Amino acid sequence: MIFLPILIALAFPPPDPQERAMLLSHRVMLEEPWRAQEGYDALSYDIELTVRPDTCALQGAVRMTLRLDAALDTLVVDLSSALHVSDVSLDFSPVEFSHSDDRIRVPLPGHAAADTLSLIITYAGIPQPGGFGSFVCQARSGQPQFWTLSQTDYAHTWWPCHDTPRDKAMVSMTVSVPFPADSFFVVSNGVLEATDQWDGWTTYRWRELHPIAPSLVSLAATNYTIIEDACVSTGGDTIPIRHYVYPERIDAAREDFSPTSAMIHAFELRYGPYPFRPEKYGMAMVQRSGAMEHQTVTSYGDIHVRGDHRYDWIVAHELAHQWWGDWVTCADWNHIWLNEGFASFSEAVWAEHEGGDQAYREYMLSQDYLRTSGNEFPGTVLNPDDTFSITVYDKGAWIVHMLRQLVGDGVFWQALAAYGAAHAYGTAVTDDLRSAVEARCGEDLTWFFDQWLTREGRPHLALSWTRMQRFTDDSLTVRIRQVQAGEAYRLPLDIRFIGESRDSVITCELGSSEFESGYAMPFRVQTWEVDPLHKVLLSVDSGPGEPGEGALPLAFYAPRPNPSSRWVRTGVDLPDARVVEVSVLDLLGRRVWSLMPFTAGPGYQILQWEGVTRPGSPAPSGLYFLRVRAGSDSRTFPIVRVREIVYHCND
């Protein structure tokens, strides 16, 4: 879901960061989440409504089939007290009921767990909108219009239900309006089974063919013109595409919605076949900003229809929700990032499909709130203070991105497919996703989910380095400090060393606030950076800057080649000026050759024995000992002298 006033650009290239931040940072404070009664499972709803858009008055009858999970003394069904309930029947017999505090209470004597019940509720009234609208009637250029948007728990403001995302059910929707079909159209979820006209009224009969959460049940109605299209799923099925648009905006809508088919294809390649293939996918224009991913038909803010593809990213976002939000729905609003984080990540997946890896990574950078605004993501992703905020959307997207980088593409996409299949047309919580990934990567990822989902902010790094130059390479010591408040993050991290004409990338893992490690590079390093491919949500607060000068440790190097028939070369790294002596000893400890002692400055020194006892006299074959002394320190190496082999060619 995306909502509230914004002006944002294409899904590829990325939208304008400031405009995106304006949208996702604008918070609407929702009421305390609705707590639906536990103890039963709604199986189906048959909803019949008569709506008068001019007054927003509706009359309704809803048949609800449910199964008890436990023996209940009282059955509680959610319905706004602003609506008047006239009758309630249980298993087709009238029963007593009470209706207060937005709840219908029906006594249930003599019923046990696993019993299946049929409840019919007849009601009428004018819905009082809540949340982001829930049920809205308004005129549009003289044309009547009504639409619904029930997220999070506001379905009960206009129809009786078990108003919780964890309880999906089958839904049929029959709506009658006092307008002829050629001047007014009512769109809802699923497939349109029939349209009947009688005495100036029109009745529309819609049926959703898959389980649906109450918040995803939708109506949108006005004098729509329908743009028809279709695409072939990767599974071979034809997917009807239907966009319900204002007739005066048809050209702009046809242009803006034209990428829908390509987007479906792109997401099918990553997420599997479109989950509602026999039904449809489309968008219905409504008189508001933003959009909402109602199952099979997104309600799309009319202000975003401009004919210039400025809001392609919203089209991609809402389409991706058909997988992550509708096919698999968060079971609890504390886990809303499973809907919104995945949909925001999917915008980058669309960019990747269109522009490759570079476009994907650039898009992810456009979703880094600190980078684009200078402000940190507020609050946590899991159990957020604000259900709909930039943290849930864009930090949530970064968590999905980082998970992909951590486990690799093969494991990531397989795990996502398994997660979807395990919870298809049902609900999930964060641990379900974690378990699916762990099962494929074979590692405990509790640390990853805990540090990114339950902590505010991100790691902040301070970088510094020391150069210690040797013979033909650079010897470097890098230091990385985590300077954010609280515990250190565990960070698998790439480090890129950059030279004039080449670079090199190594991978390390930070597990504490202080990290220090030495590296030898076969080229002169000009600078270095962490996370060059932006795999991790982090901030480099300082560094690396210019390298400090480090003292070389004393180091002796083994002689090469060994064995040798001619010369042997060794070397020593000196941290300071020292007297250097080199001797070759035989097995009895007698000195057979030595180099005149000399004073050498700090740095790398090459030392060589020509394999002689004195000039012109080759040493016999055998075992010798080469001793190198540097000041008070020394090191002795065994070396083998072999007879030189001479090959003769026959004429």
Percent of the chain at pLDDT exceeding 70: 93
Give Cα separations from 480 to 320, 494, 542, 575 (angstroms).
38, 12, 10, 25
Tell me, rounded to whole angstroms, the distance of Cα 601 from its chain centroid: 56
- Comparing CA positions, the residue from 23, 64, 74 lying closest to residue 304 is 23
Query: Is 651 a residue whose pLDDT tops 80?
Result: no
| Structure confidence at residue 468 (pLDDT) | 74
* Mean pLDDT of all residues in 103-115: 94
Domains of the chain, by residue range, sit at 460-549, 555-641
Residues 196, 200, 204: CA angle, nearest 5 degrees: 30
Q: Which residues on adjacent β-strands are paired with residue 282?
A: 297
pLDDT tens digits for range 491-538: 999 999 999 889 999 999 999 999 999 888 888 899 999 999 999 999
* Full strand arrangement of the beta sheet holding 503-510: 503-510, 491-499, 525-530
Percent of the chain at pLDDT exceeding 90: 80
Give Cα separations from 296 to 97, 151, 191, 210, 281 (angstroms).
35, 16, 9, 10, 5
| Structure confidence at residue 10 (pLDDT) | 36
Q: Which residue has the tokens 């769109």?
A: 187
> What tokens appear for 293 in the block?
């991913």
Structure-model confidence comparison of residues 604 and 651, the more confident one:
604
pLDDT tens digits for range 204-217: 999 999 999 999 99
Query: Is 548 a residue whose pLDDT tops 80?
Result: yes
Residues 223, 229, 231: CA angle, nearest 5 degrees: 150
The answer to whether 458 and 376 have CB atoms below 8 angstroms apart is: yes
Q: Is 273 left (phi over 0), alpha (psi -120 to 50) or beta?
A: beta
Q: How many alpha carbons fall within 13 Å on the CB side of residue 599?
A: 2
Query: Is 603 a residue whose pLDDT tops 80?
Result: no
CATH of the domain spanning 555-641: 2.60.40.2550
* Full strand arrangement of the beta sheet holding 622-630: 591-600, 578-585, 622-630, 633-641
Tell me, rounded to whole angstroms, the distance of Cα 209 from its chain centroid: 29
| Structure confidence at residue 647 (pLDDT) | 41
Please state, in angstroms and rounded to a whole number, the distance separating the CA atoms of residues 184 and 181.
5
- Determine the residue type at 437: V
Q: Is 405 left (phi over 0), alpha (psi -120 to 50) or beta?
A: alpha
The answer to whether 321 and 393 have CB atoms below 8 angstroms apart is: no
pLDDT tens digits for range 412-423: 999 999 999 999
* Mean pLDDT of all residues in 611-639: 92
pLDDT tens digits for range 77-101: 999 999 999 999 999 999 999 999 9
- Average pLDDT over the chain, rounded to whole? 92
| Structure confidence at residue 3 (pLDDT) | 47
> What tokens appear for 632 in the block?
């008070």
Query: Is 238 a residue whose pLDDT tops 90?
Result: yes
The answer to whether 384 and 333 have CB atoms below 8 angstroms apart is: no
pLDDT tens digits for range 35-48: 899 999 999 999 99
Q: Which residues contact 348 (CB under 8 A, 6 or more apart)?
A: 360, 363, 364, 367, 397, 401
- Determine the residue type at 466: T
* Mean pLDDT of all residues in 449-461: 98
Query: Is 7 a residue whose pLDDT tops 70?
Result: no
Task: Assess if CATH 2.60.40 describes domain 460-549.
Answer: yes
| Structure confidence at residue 21 (pLDDT) | 66
Kindly report the three-state secondary structure assignment for every residue of 567-618. CEEEEEEECCCEEEEEEEECCCCCEEEEEEEEEECCEEEEEEECCEEECCEE
465 burial class (0-12, 13-18, 19+ CB within 10 angstroms)? buried
40 burial class (0-12, 13-18, 19+ CB within 10 angstroms)? buried
| Structure confidence at residue 23 (pLDDT) | 61
In 10 A of CB 440, how many CB atoms? 18
CATH fold match for the domains 460-549 and 555-641: yes
The answer to whether 452 and 474 have CB atoms below 8 angstroms apart is: no
Reported pTM:
0.85
Query: Is 631 a residue whose pLDDT tops 70?
Result: yes
Please state, in angstroms and rounded to a whole number, the distance separating the CA atoms of residues 272 and 424.
11
3-state secondary structure at position 629: strand
| Structure confidence at residue 583 (pLDDT) | 94
